[in-house]
Amino acid sequence: MPRRTPGRSTVAIHGNQPPRAAREPVAPPIYQSSTFVSPFGSHDEVLYTRYGNNPNQLRLADRLARLEGSDAAIFVGSGMGATALAHLAVLNPGDHLLSSAWIYGGTRRLFLEEFARLGIEVSLVNPDRRREWRGKLRKNTRAIFVETPTNPLMRLLDVEWLAGLAAAEGLALLVDSTFATPMNYRPLEHGADLVIHSATKYLNGHSDVIAGAVAGSTKLVAEVRERMKLWGQALDPHAAWLIERGMKTLGPRMDRHNRTGLAVATWLERQAKVRRVHYPGLASHADHELAARVLDGFSGMVGLELVGGARAAGRCLKAFRLITHAPSLGGVETLVSEPRFTSHAALTPAERAAAGIPDGFLRLSLGLEDPEDLIEDLARGLAAA
Ligand SMILES: Cc1ncc(COP(=O)(O)O)c(C=O)c1O
């Protein structure tokens, strides 16, 4: 019988685990060791947890590579670490990066403040003006960075088109796919060179670990690994073990996030006090067609604007009982945040308004609770708004 390729949920649970022998533990041990015994007189790779070759780190990386369809992957100490190291793997002082302007606020600060200090220039492109990508190209442009779906408007970028441009100009294409996870979207299948995750979010899924990941070719991931070793960004083995445990349920968790996301967004759009719902699964979303074509699910992330603006949003937040006011996303519990105080705090109100994120914009990360309970809590919040 020809061997079927295992489905993504199976891969997330088993990785490349061979059938277990009698008495073997079903759950992997945690190798909470900073170092490993070296053979005498050997030039073989030294095993040291900061080098990213602890068994817990390796198991996890292998699992993500299989899910993203990449040759290699690596986990590091945070999503910001993953973004920084992925870029340092492809950029040198004097190089220029073209980045989408629709990115997480921390990433924006990394590019505009830290990269400037390293002599790496960054131009921000408004993806709604496709011509800007070519217009802002320079002789020293070496890479393109985008986030898709974006935070917090859930806009979709056309990675295939960008990959065409990157290939024609000899640039590396880096994609932050945190909001999608490999269950909903795999950027490498659409021509990206490196995919970046804040594993703090959906990959781990339980709001109890800070981590990041990068997946791509063996050569590029080896570059990331070298930068990780020298900039000291390795992931602790216990954190790696927790993420592996979290990733085992990535398939069913994303199924549920996708279903709840669509149900709640559809309900919200019908409420009189709601001005606008940003969810790519809704026909009203600017990128619905592209999203329906390229995504396997629309996730549990929903952007919300209320008729009463910022004051109404404040009243709504205080009325929630189940929905927790906290930054971050992708966990089992539903969280709500205001991007003006969290991910987009570094932007001026005018910059935020221009980016389509007015004061009072609420970002919901819908968790795994019963959707009826979430709708009841949302109704409570809207009644107070
Ligand atoms: C899309 C995106 N990328 C990267 C990050 C940074 O991740 P971390 O907080 O794990 O460093 C975040 C954090 O919110 C994010 O939303």
Segment 155-204, tens digit of pLDDT: 999 999 999 999 999 999 999 999 999 999 999 999 999 999 999 999 99
Mean pLDDT of 254-281: 98
Which residues sit with their C-beta closer than 6 Å to ligand 1?
78-80, 83, 104, 106-107, 147, 151, 176, 178, 198, 200, 210, 212, 343
Ligand 1 centroid distance, CA of 142 (Å): 23
Which ligand 1 atom minimizes the distance to the CA of 103? 1
Those residues with Cβ within 8 angstroms of residue 219's Cβ, 6 or more apart along the chain or in another chain: none
Is residue 285 a contact partner of residue 154, using CB atoms and an 8 Å limit? yes
To which residue do tokens 């709708």 refer?
A: 375
Residue 95 annotated among the catalytic residues of the structure: no
Tell me the three state secondary structure of residue 185: coil
Residue whose Cα lies nearest atom 16 of ligand 1: it is 104
Q: Strands 335-337 and 172-176, how do they pair? A: unpaired
Is residue 218 a contact partner of residue 72, using CB atoms and an 8 Å limit? yes
Q: What is the pTM of this model?
A: 0.97
Segment 362-371, tens digit of pLDDT: 999 999 999 9
Ligand 1 centroid distance, CA of 222 (Å): 22
As a three-state string, the secondary structure of 199-256 is: CCCCCCCCCCCCCEEEEECHHHHHHHHHHHHHHCCECCHHHHHHHHHHHCCHHHHHHH
Ligand 1 centroid distance, CA of 82 (Å): 9
Tell me: pLDDT of 353 over 90: no
Segment 95-115, tens digit of pLDDT: 999 999 999 999 999 999 999
Residue whose Cα lies nearest atom 10 of ligand 1: it is 79
Those residues with Cβ within 8 angstroms of residue 4's Cβ, 6 or more apart along the chain or in another chain: none
Residue 51 annotated among the catalytic residues of the structure: no
Q: Which candidate in 95, 155, 176, 340 is catalytic?
A: 176
Which ligand 1 atom minimizes the distance to the CA of 328? 14
For a substitution probing ligand 1, which of 75, 80, 87 has the most ligand atoms within 8 Å of its CB?
Answer: 80
Ligand 1 centroid distance, CA of 198 (Å): 5
Q: Which amino acid is at 348?
A: T
Residue 176 annotated among the catalytic residues of the structure: yes
Tell me the three state secondary structure of residue 200: coil
Q: Which candidate in 48, 50, 273, 276 is catalytic?
A: 50
Residue 50 annotated among the catalytic residues of the structure: yes
Q: How far is the C-alpha of 203 from the C-alpha of 179, rounded, in Å?
A: 10
Segment 292-329, tens digit of pLDDT: 999 999 999 999 999 999 999 999 999 999 999 999 99
